Amino acid sequence: MCATCGCADGAQPSLTDLGTGQVTSLGEPVHEHNHAHPHDHPHPETRTIVLEQEVLSKNNLLAERNRDWFLEHRIAALNLMSSPGAGKTTLLERTIRDLDGELPISVIEGDQETLLDAERIRATKCRVVQINTGSGCHLDADMLARGLASLDPPDESVVMIENVGNLVCPALFDLGEGARVVIMSVTEGQDKPLKYPHMFRSAQLMILNKIDLSPYVQFDTAECVANARMVNPGLEVLEVSATRGDGMDGWYAWLRQARP
């Protein structure tokens, strides 16, 4: 967890509004450390646990405020999580273009550095803001709240939150989202749900992406789905190719049901 992994040491999170070009410092993240020198001295385990509880407790309070805000404005907020390179941004690009005029979608992009993914989303004419976490490994509820203030999504719309590529820490931090979507690709290996169970246990939907590459990689789809449902028996699963379009109608039907 972040109280022990040191992901926030030296982190300088910032928010960039792609529409105006304005960059805003987000200051210290919610799970800040009180000192930045190397941890070459032992910390009592009990203190570490207390810190973790304090971090998550503060984050969860802010997440509930976000959730209330989404409910008040009848906004479907989806937290998209995956390993780097699973295809989150490509999935978003195709979704936005295919549902243009039907579902109003806006996006919050989370990455450690660069505006690359936000620029790709902006090219679809979609409203987007970029949150750069610096050395931080995930978004938290406070970052999301500030991102929403800049994004200003319309009522009765869909907000897609593309979290930092990471199958560990993003699963631990509630953002106030209405649903969690974990995206896997067939290039990752069917054992990922067993190796990273908390991520798959916390999700409502698993999208298995890049199925067009299945003939060229050693990947057992049935075993992957079985592993995921061993961790989370109620997990919905969709098989898609975001580049070719296979299976995307199922994803769009799921989105329509998620919309308030």
In a domain? residue 250: yes
Domain count, the chain: 1
Domain region containing 173:
10-25+42-258
Residue-wise pLDDT tens digits, 114-163: 999 999 999 999 999 999 999 899 999 999 999 999 999 999 999 999 99
Residue-wise pLDDT tens digits, 180-199: 999 999 999 999 999 999 99
Q: What is the 3-state secondary structure (H, E, C) of the chain?
A: CHHHHCCCCCCCCEEEECCCCCEEECCCCCCCCCCCCCCCCCCCHHHHHHHHHHHHHHHHHHHHHHHHHHHHCCCEEEEEEECCCCCHHHHHHHHHHHCCCCCCEEEEEEECCCCHHHHHHHCCCCEEEEEECCCCCCCCHHHHHHHHHHHCCCCCCEEEEECCCCCCHHHHCCCCCCEEEEEEECCCCCCHHHHCHHHHHCCCEEEEECHHHHHHCCCCHHHHHHHHHHHCCCCEEEECCCCCCCCHHHHHHHHHHHCC
* pLDDT value of residue 237: 98
Indicate which CATH number applies to the domain containing 100: 3.40.50.300
In a domain? residue 76: yes
In a domain? residue 5: no
pTM across the whole model = 0.85
In a domain? residue 34: no
* pLDDT value of residue 27: 74
In a domain? residue 36: no
Residue-wise pLDDT tens digits, 192-225: 999 999 999 999 999 999 999 999 999 999 999 9
